[in-house]
Amino acid sequence: MEYTTILLLVLLFLLSLFLVTIFILAPSPRHSLAIEDEYEHPITSERLHHPSLFTAPAQSVTTSLIVPAYNEKDRIVGMLDEALLYFVDRKKAQPHYTYEIVVVDDGSTDATTKVVQLWAKRNRCEDCRVLTFVRNRGKGGAVTQGMLTARGEWILFADADGAAKFSDLDKLESQAKKILKDGLAVGIGSRAHMVNTEAVVKRSLIRNFLMHSFHTLLLLLGIHSIKDTQCGFKLLSRRAAQSIIPNMHVEGFIFDIEMLLLASWNKIPVIEVPINWHEVPGTKMNLVVDSVKMAKDLVVIRTCYAVGFWQVGRFVHRIGTGATSNGEGERSSSSNKTGEKRVKKDE
């Protein structure tokens, strides 16, 4: 009996130690700074407030493209060219189609913001804006904050490297619309069909080992239905984004997992759609270090929701960037035609 009591006390101590460790490790998202709530209009150079996901846009937008970017001055122009060509061609075929491009510069130390601004000015792309972080937050933080400013009925986030073929948005959107229920749907671009193709087989042994180890850990944590959780090409309906994004905690590479878990818990339909994809040199991931961080974050995510440290529906983000919860600008004096708020000259 005495040994049983000692064993129980030891187990209780270890459990308490584990939970305290998880609580300490649990990420807390950083709220945007005031200067990050503003952007420079690509044509007029006017300073404007970003709109809000929770405010009805003054001008309807069909698709919002969110591009997280960290030190991407050398790769992002090619991706933006491909995206703009798709949007322009689609608008020619569908005159009522509208779009916006939101590049989130995640605290880059290179000229990413300047390169994108010059690209937008050169292409007369009024519907492009850059959300620039003062300091790095991580890919998840960039995607989350970008989506919180989206005006689109459908919101796509795509990696800046252009690894996904942008025209695959057609079939991703088509399949997402098929499962749309009460305005809710998530479409996931998937590379799962490429596992045995040359593009994947030729990758380094350590990269493939880490990929398979990650998938094994996902299975152990109960994530079975999605074969490719990490592809940087995902489409959310506006209502789905409103349900998911304000609850996001994780700002690193593993944010996709929390996004998909929240979709599942909110009973949002999710569909995985095969897309064309190719390896692009210049990844910002440190395979070993970031894989260890991702494994740690997986355990943290599951534990935090399981024990109630995090709760679905308890928003951890402001529901408007540069705006209060009712959608009114806190520091603005007037609006432009797209619903963004102009910055007062004395700010």
The whole-angstrom separation of Cα 338 and Cα 87 is 18
* Range scoring the smallest mean pLDDT among 22-31, 232-241, 261-270, 335-344: 335-344
> For position 208, what pLDDT does the model report?
63
Write down the pLDDT at residue 135: 92
Mean pLDDT to the nearest integer, 25-32: 80
Neighbouring C-beta atoms of residue 74, cutoff 10 Å:
12
Which parts of 14-60 are beta strand (E)? Answer: 38-40, 47-49
pLDDT bracket for residue 340 (50, 70, 90): low
Note the residue count of the chain: 347
Q: Which residues, other chains included, contact 274 with Cβ-Cβ below 8 Å and sequence gap of 6+?
A: 190, 191, 192, 193
Residue type, 183: G
3-state DSSP call for residue 237? strand
DSSP 3-state helix, strand, coil percentages of the chain (rounded to 5)? Answer: 40, 20, 40
| Torsion sign (Cα): 67, 319, 28, 311 | negative
Cβ neighbours of residue 220 closer than 8 Å, sequence gap 6 or more: none
State the average pLDDT over residues 236-264.
Answer: 92
Among 6-15, 77-86, 107-116, 336-345, name the one with the lowest average pLDDT.
Answer: 336-345
pLDDT value for 76: 96
Mean pLDDT along residues 29-36: 84
A 10 A CB-CB count for 326 gives 9
Between residues 120 and 335, the one the model is more confident about: 120
The region, left, alpha or beta by phi > 0 then psi within -120 to 50, assigned to residue 282 is left
180-232: per-residue pLDDT in tens? 999 999 999 988 765 555 555 455 565 666 667 777 777 776 667 787 888 88
Q: Which of 101-105, 145-149, 274-278, 322-326 has the lowest mean pLDDT?
A: 322-326
Q: Is the pLDDT of residue 101 over 50?
A: yes
Q: What is the pLDDT of residue 26?
A: 81
Phi-psi region of 65 (alpha: psi -120 to 50; beta: other; left: phi over 0): beta
* Dihedral sign, Cα of residue 291, residue 295, residue 296, residue 300: positive
Two tokens, residue 247? 């609850």
Closest listed residue to residue 182, CA positions, set 99, 238, 248: 238
Residue 304 amino acid letter = C
Residue 336 has pLDDT above 50, yes or no: no
Q: Where are the domains of the chain?
A: 33-324
67 vs 344, more confident: 67
Residues 6 or more apart whose Cβ sits within 8 Å of residue 124: 43
Place of tokens 């009460």: 182
Phi/psi of residue 62, each to 5°?
-75, -50
> For position 338, what pLDDT does the model report?
47
The pLDDT > 70 percentage for the chain reads 81
User: Tell me, which fold does domain 33-324 have in CATH?
Assistant: Spore Coat Polysaccharide Biosynthesis Protein SpsA; Chain A (3.90.550)
